[in-house]
Structure 1
């Protein structure tokens, strides 16, 4: 039996292996195949995870404030401390209109009140005298009118002289004037229907912000008993330096920064022509919509029309965060927020001027933006 030559078979096997390898190499170089899934994984590995999904309810629950950025450098705005005050028609001092003892108190501190609504009743001897004088004057006026009618009839019948008719006319006119005076006095004292006292009523609608009255207390006319304020009728008074005051004109825009992080738009209504004696500053009066609590301290950003012209964007310093050594700002998206890399130009008084990385009209997180940074860092740590 003839045995196969193992050397020849081994050589043939080596040739076949080399040929198969050549075919495999030629196939890979001629028709390369790229998988989409592998490419996306590679891209995700390179690109930083700078997006954060967050629902509107979650944003509100975290008290994250969102603000629309506007163009204008630091030189185009004036920062000033300000106070919310009641407008001249938004606060009323309610005083006693007659002397007497307080017998009824209808409203207390913080209670709502309508215009003309009674706050208290003062039982007053003066009010009783005013009511009595009104009744007597009206009775005299009626009597004078009757006497005039009788004298007119007698004069027309040529029974009495003309002088008697003219005297009756004068007496009727005096009586009517006295009755009108008595009615006005009773209205000014806001005399009660039974004439025993005076009604202390509010001239405006709002809430009682101050009270200085007790049952049984004896009060004098013009004694302050209540203060009523309408929170929807307020203004903001901001102290500005003399140089900045010259740049402001009525109608200039302003942004009011509230203590809770919210911002509201306002307009400059007037600028005082003189400077305050102690602070050497002018006062910019702002008209602001909505309801604010009088006495609330706020900060305002005044945007004078005579300010510097700049395309730079200025944001609150709390909106700027540092993420992995980068300056970022969280921009609002449809699904949440995205960390945008920004370049800082300069800083001043809690404001940051951005040279690049933001566009006018974008909405960014301001108050509590650090929570987004923490959440983003936590997500990156979990992935690692």
Structure 2
């Protein structure tokens, strides 16, 4: 019995040790499987994020469904003047070079004017001689007029003598021969007066002829002086020197080009449009011009001229566009890209993916739909609340649709959703969303 008891006692100890070991193993296993507090919080956030729908947010803007056609042209100054020599001579100096700014009336070159000065002096000397001839002729007129006055007095005296002799003849106081002599003297005085008057007219004609010669010579002098002035070449407009076509020392003939000046206060661009597009273009219409030389800038101008004649081969109409160049940065010969501004009213344009596919109802399904707009005051950097809004649709093209009413420019809306949205739903903004 004692042996049996000891055997049972030893077995009981064995089981106690076994159970104790198993308890330690279970405890260690349980500690590894229970989640920590940080892991539980992360799991809760992950579960919350999985409940929000990811969306792309965009800002409503006005625009057009289709891009306006673009035309290419080349820049040129608004005015371009070729300054040419009008006289023969050697170039003495030039005061400008390519790219230099010039003012209207500024001297840009001088020619040798020695021969021109000599021609002016000779013409002026001839003019002085003719003026002296006029003075002499006028003196002759004065003498002739004095003679007329003397002849008129003599005639009056002869006529008075004749009247007295005739009265005495009737009284028988004088012979008839003496009365006849008085008549002859009176007639002679009349002839002398007429001759003196004719001489006055002749002298006056001589004065007129001399004055005509003076006038003609004055024109010669003016022409000579004008020719002399051509030796100094001045800029007819304000602008910049585009080309310098001769050098000091060269001998130039009339019509030889000296410099070319361009007015760069405005820039013109010539483009050609199809006859089918001519109806949408009018003079004074606004245009947008982009230059490859200034890729970050755009320039606003207007249509200044529409040619009345089209190219007979391609049926293209030349259009002239003018843009301002206040700072003078735009030069000549640059590639320009021109877009004519459409007079059609711009509307809010959104992608068709922003429209709710199941929101439109009734017979106006093609005209009305629903867009989800980010509610004001509820958005954070990562998520926000959206509200459903009914909008009226216009035309659509190229994956875009016009919004006629219901959405204003500047409002934020859901451009694309990763799931089905409901009014008041909380959404998560994707990295593609506009801030």
**Normalised by the shorter chain, which TM-score bucket?**
0.5 to 0.7
Structure 1 counterpart of 2:270: 237
Q: Distance in 1 between matches of 2:224 and 2:276?
A: 52
SS of the equivalent of 1:228 reads strand
Q: Distance in 2 between matches of 1:85 and 1:226?
A: 17
- The structure-2 alpha-carbon separation of the partners of 1:185 and 1:81, relative to structure 1 and needing over 3 Å to count, comes to farther
Q: Distance in 2 between matches of 1:361 and 1:267?
A: 29
Structure 1 counterpart of 2:319: 284
Structure 2 counterpart of 1:301: 339
1:200 partnered with 2:191:
no
Structure 1 counterpart of 2:286: 253
- More off after superposition, 210-219 vs 140-149: 140-149
Question: Conserved in 2, the CA contact under 8 Å of 1:119 and 1:200?
Answer: yes
1:302 shift after superposition: 0.9
- The structure-2 alpha-carbon separation of the partners of 1:212 and 1:355, relative to structure 1 and needing over 3 Å to count, comes to same
Structure 2 counterpart of 1:270: 305
Equivalent residue runs for 1:1-384 within 5 Å: 71-74=63-66, 77-87=68-78, 90-124=79-113, 127-128=116-117, 130-140=119-129, 142-147=131-136, 149-158=138-147, 161-188=200-227, 190-191=229-230, 198-259=231-292, 260=294, 261-276=296-311, 280-291=315-326, 292-303=330-341, 309=344, 311-312=346-347, 355=402
Unaligned ranges ≥5, structure 1: 1-41, 52-68, 192-197, 315-343, 363-379
Larger of the two Rg values belongs to structure: 2
Question: Conserved in 1, the CA contact under 8 Å of 2:90 and 2:111?
Answer: yes
SS of the equivalent of 1:213 reads coil
* Greater share of helix: 2
- The structure-2 alpha-carbon separation of the partners of 1:290 and 1:149, relative to structure 1 and needing over 3 Å to count, comes to farther
SS of the equivalent of 1:97 reads coil
Q: Distance in 2 between matches of 1:361 and 1:134?
A: 80
- The structure-2 alpha-carbon separation of the partners of 1:354 and 1:173, relative to structure 1 and needing over 3 Å to count, comes to farther
SS of the equivalent of 2:116 reads helix
SS of the equivalent of 2:233 reads strand
SS of the equivalent of 2:324 reads coil
Question: Conserved in 1, the CA contact under 8 Å of 2:113 and 2:228?
Answer: no
Q: Distance in 2 between matches of 1:354 and 1:127?
A: 76
- The structure-2 alpha-carbon separation of the partners of 1:156 and 1:162, relative to structure 1 and needing over 3 Å to count, comes to same
Structure 2 counterpart of 1:17: none
Q: Distance in 1 between matches of 2:265 and 2:401?
A: 36
- The structure-2 alpha-carbon separation of the partners of 1:85 and 1:303, relative to structure 1 and needing over 3 Å to count, comes to same
1:289 shift after superposition: 2.4
SS of the equivalent of 2:339 reads strand
- The count of residues paired between Structure 1 and Structure 2 equals 262
TM-score w.r.t. length of structure 2: 0.51
